[in-house]
Amino acid sequence: MRKVGPIFSMDISPNMLVYALIFTVVYIVLSVLAINRYFEVSYENKILRQDLNHCAQTLNTQRFQSSYVKHYKELASELDKAERRKQPPPAEAEKPAPAPAEAPKPEKAEVKAESSGPAWPDQSPVDAINLTLRPERDNTAVRFQFNLRNVHPDNKMVNGYLFVILVNPQASPPATASYPETELRNLLPTDYKSGTVFSIRHGKTVRGLIENLTNAAAFSQVHVLVYTEDGQPLYRTVLEPENG
């Protein structure tokens, strides 16, 4: 520092001026950021206070509505009790007129297959359930589907041959059709090896389409026949469609 007349002057190097300028700029930036953050926090607090007031108002409204509904239910219960006391005792009430007896529905004639050869077993390791039939192609074909289950206690693999035979009991004589197509005699295939080969451990869905039928919708009975691999009768049942 040196004195120039009545004024003191200070010699400052260029580096000091640069440092002072950087410090001033940083200080201004930090000050602006701090001020912005202050206003942001103030605005957020304002929004939070508004939301808190709104929630408090909503809670008070719900409490009022809850008490109102509770009071309404109590009044409804008292009114119901009063109405019950006014009703006559059950002995004095009029007895409903007996419903007219329904005429017995005619049972569908079931076309049974005649036994030929070895007898069918009373118990089988397989069974068939959940049959559905759907006429198609201008009532000249039937698409069928059912579940074949393995009901063996030990869940043993079951192999063999499967036949599906459709019957129209309304025709005279009853019309039949088989899947796969094979020669039938008394609703039984003449060659068990012409059936569909199957193998199940748990179960499977059996699907098929039988074509070239007359009045396909009238085929309402399905005979499911199962033979062992050596041609022994294993299972036979007659299913009615669940969607019929």
For 53-106, the pLDDT digits (tens) are 887 888 777 777 777 677 767 777 777 777 777 666 555 445 555 655 555 554
Contact 222, 241 (CB under 8 A): yes
- DSSP letters for 70-90: HHHHHHHHHHHHHHHHHSPPT
pLDDT tens per residue across span 97-109: 565 555 555 455 5
Gap between the Cα atoms of 189 and 210, Å rounded: 16
Q: Is 140's pLDDT higher than 50?
A: yes
pLDDT of residue 93: 47
Burial of 132 (0-12, 13-18, 19+ CB in 10 A): middle
Instruction: Estimate the share of the chain in helix, then strand, then coil, as percent rounded to the nearest 5.
Output: 30, 30, 35
Is the peptide bond prior to 89 cis by the omega test (within 30 degrees of 0)?
no
Instruction: Give percent of the chain with pLDDT exceeding 90.
Output: 48
pLDDT tens per residue across span 30-55: 999 999 888 888 888 888 888 888 87
User: Encoding tokens for residue 205?
Assistant: 């869905």
Lowest mean pLDDT among 71-75, 136-140, 158-162, 216-220: 71-75
